[in-house]
Amino acid sequence: MEVSQLRRLYLDFFIKKCKHTEIGSSPLLPENDPTCLFNTAGMQPLVPYLLGAAHPCGTRLVNSQKCLRTDDLDEVGDDTHHTFFEMLGNWSLGDYFKEEAIKWSYEFLVGKREDGCLELDPRRICVTVYEGDETVERDNKAIQLWQELGFILNSEAKPGDLNRIYPYPAEHNWWKLAETGPCGPDTEIFYYNGDLEDPKFKNNKYAPNDETDVYVEIWNNVFMMYNRESDGSLTELTNKNIDTGMGFERILSFVNGVNNAYQTPLFKPVLDRLRELSSKTEIENSIRIISDHLRASVFIMGDQFGVTPSNTDQGYVLRKLIRRAARHLHKIGVDYMEAVAIADIFIGMYSDHYTELVGKKDLILTELKQEIEQFSLTLDKGCKEFMKIKNELDQKAIQIIPGELAFKLYDTYGFPLEMTEELATENNLSVDSEGFEKAYKAHQDLSRTAAAGRFKGGLADDSEESTKLHTATHLLHQALRDVLGDHVGQKGSNITPERLRFDFNHSEAMTKEQIAQVEEIVNAQIERDLQISCDVMSVDEAKSQGAIGLFEDKYAEKINVYKIGNFSMEICGGPHVQSTKELGHFKIKKEQSCGKGVRRIKAILQ
């Protein structure tokens, strides 16, 4: 099955049979979420609606969401982990619940191909459910629904019975938004990825989440039915939601009868090309890493809020991915510039669904070429320097690379710490990472330690302070357009309870007079006590009325447009205050460059 065919099958199943509305993928870079660098799950952009806001497309939604995670970077190259991936998801916002979610997911997996389903082998499927504790009882409803579909509780199954139901504790089958807020049990669907004739499989010696990993999770149905209060207690939600997610790359593998996505049309053209170009042996892990990292890099640079390589935030992740791919190209003896050709392949592969990549093709390939050229100049020298360090340590019988030497490889040769650690592992060494961090902090503005926490992902903050600052970004956006020109558009934002950060396209630094003028305009609108309202309309209506926003594939047929009096009109999901008078006094603390043609403002409310 081809890539676009699988995605379309899933979307059409939920649109035509289950009456869902398709929504486009939100940008890979989250809007107004200070807790993570990238969207890490399909539900993340929908948090305001899962918390109760009305979605303009209704109560049944479906899409394929672009996601990126870096916490499993060391696992990339195995059969199941990828840096960039798509998450197929369907949601019920206070509409249908457990019965429909479970039955529809199973039907799509095992139903006939002519009926728009995947026709996977049902013998390979088992499920997990929440086993309950002293606070919330076992999810007997989910168990009952799976039993109606032919599944058997593991405790009641006989040797040789397949399609088992495994009750598991909260560690595996309880989902939560954060320590407080919406939460609830879930049921996960697993697919057996081994030999059907394996005696251990026939005698049920394997189970989900065991040490063998022969059962791979492919779908998760979350039953968001409780709210965790600050004292730890649970109350039932009035509107119960369904949040589901199915890993696109994993399901594509199993539909095509292979063990991993690298054997599917998604990666095979790139891997075959690298095998032809390399004359070395033992290259499989490297060519997987190269293809994974370059695909992720294409999507980061091609995103609606796309970034370029740098030493901070998302740009740092991008630089790390490109340079890691370049090192593995070097390792297998393939020219560095092959990275550009591979990126071009991925752009063509995804251009039918993610059309933004086509419009940014020249930018993606140019930035990638420049980064590779810059890094290739020092990579060879850096590898030689590493071997020199290794030989000196070998002579002294030392197996730990001192932090200051690891930092030298970074500062002089552009080696991220992760690359030095990877080389060290290959040569039976380790790295004094704490020493590296100490040297790094003394020399750079970015604290690598603090940034590492942000790579783990998180969810949006809807506190009163953050809501005010989010509203202020709308005023700031329009004020910048008034002062600098209509070319100004949002390139990203980051909100914490303490400050807002707003990135926008502009070719030169703002003058002191321009900054003061923007502040004056914003504060004037605050003093006017403008009311904030939300209208649901089509994209064409929003355009005709002059709404500010990214008119890209992320928008569905209906969208939310927030108006601040007669001053600002912008496409947004919220949250917002009711009137500008609540904001207080707006003050710009800093204006600076954060990339080619992109400026950044940091501001506060006093």
Domains located in the chain, CATH noted: 3-263 (3.30.930.10), 268-454 (no CATH), 464-605 (3.30.980.10)
Long-range contacts of 117-124 (CB under 8 A, 24+ apart): 117/9, 117/13, 118/6, 118/9, 118/251, 118/255, 120/191, 120/254, 120/255, 121/196, 122/150, 122/163, 123/162, 123/163, 123/192, 123/196, 124/191, 124/192, 124/193, 124/196
> How much is the pLDDT for 505?
87
> How much is the pLDDT for 454?
38
Which residue bears the tokens 């206070």?
A: 94
What band does 453 get if pLDDT is binned at 50, 70 and 90? Answer: very low
Buried/exposed 33-53: b ≥16 CB within 10 Å, e otherwise: bbbbbbbbbbbbbbbbbbbeb
477 closest CA partner among 525, 515, 518? 518
pLDDT of 449 over the 60 cut: no
Q: How far apart are CA 364 and CA 373, in angstroms?
A: 14
Highest mean pLDDT among 33-42, 340-349, 367-376: 340-349
Mean pLDDT over 390-418 rounds to 86
> How much is the pLDDT for 451?
37
What band does 408 get if pLDDT is binned at 50, 70 and 90? Answer: confident
Mean pLDDT over 405-411 rounds to 85
> How much is the pLDDT for 459?
38
Q: How far is CA 557 from CA 24, 28, 553, in A?
A: 10, 20, 10
pLDDT of 363 over the 80 cut: yes
Mean pLDDT over 371-399 rounds to 87
> How much is the pLDDT for 550?
58
Mean pLDDT over 256-270 rounds to 94
> How much is the pLDDT for 337?
93
Structure tokens at 171: 């560690």
pLDDT of 481 over the 90 cut: yes
Lowest mean pLDDT among 164-173, 411-420, 563-572: 411-420
Structure tokens at 351: 């251009």
> How much is the pLDDT for 557?
66
> How much is the pLDDT for 446?
41
> How much is the pLDDT for 45?
86
pLDDT of 23 over the 90 cut: yes
Q: Are 495 and 34 in contact (CB under 8 A)?
A: yes
What band does 32 get if pLDDT is binned at 50, 70 and 90? Answer: low
> How much is the pLDDT for 472?
93
Of residues 246 and 408, more confidence is placed in: 246
> How much is the pLDDT for 461?
55
Highest mean pLDDT among 42-46, 236-240, 258-262, 413-417: 258-262
Long-range contacts of 52-55 (CB under 8 A, 24+ apart): 52/239, 53/573, 53/574, 53/575, 55/93
> How much is the pLDDT for 445?
44
Q: Are 104 and 89 in contact (CB under 8 A)?
A: no
What band does 492 get if pLDDT is binned at 50, 70 and 90? Answer: confident
What band does 411 get if pLDDT is binned at 50, 70 and 90? Answer: confident
CB under 8 Å to 391, separation ≥6 — which residues?
none
Which pLDDT tens digit goes with each residue over 100-142?
999 999 999 999 999 999 999 999 999 999 999 999 999 999 9
Mean pLDDT over 59-78 rounds to 88
Q: Are 216 and 174 in contact (CB under 8 A)?
A: no
Looking at the chain, the whole-number percentage of residues with pLDDT higher than 70 is 94
Mean pLDDT over 483-498 rounds to 86
Which pLDDT tens digit goes with each residue over 568-600?
998 887 678 899 999 999 999 999 887 778 899
> How much is the pLDDT for 551?
45
pLDDT of 447 over the 90 cut: no
> How much is the pLDDT for 34?
64
What pTM was computed for the model?
Answer: 0.75
In a 3-state reduction of DSSP, which class is residue 70? coil
> How much is the pLDDT for 261?
94
> How much is the pLDDT for 325?
93
Looking at the chain, the whole-number percentage of residues with pLDDT higher than 90 is 57
Average pLDDT, the chain: 88
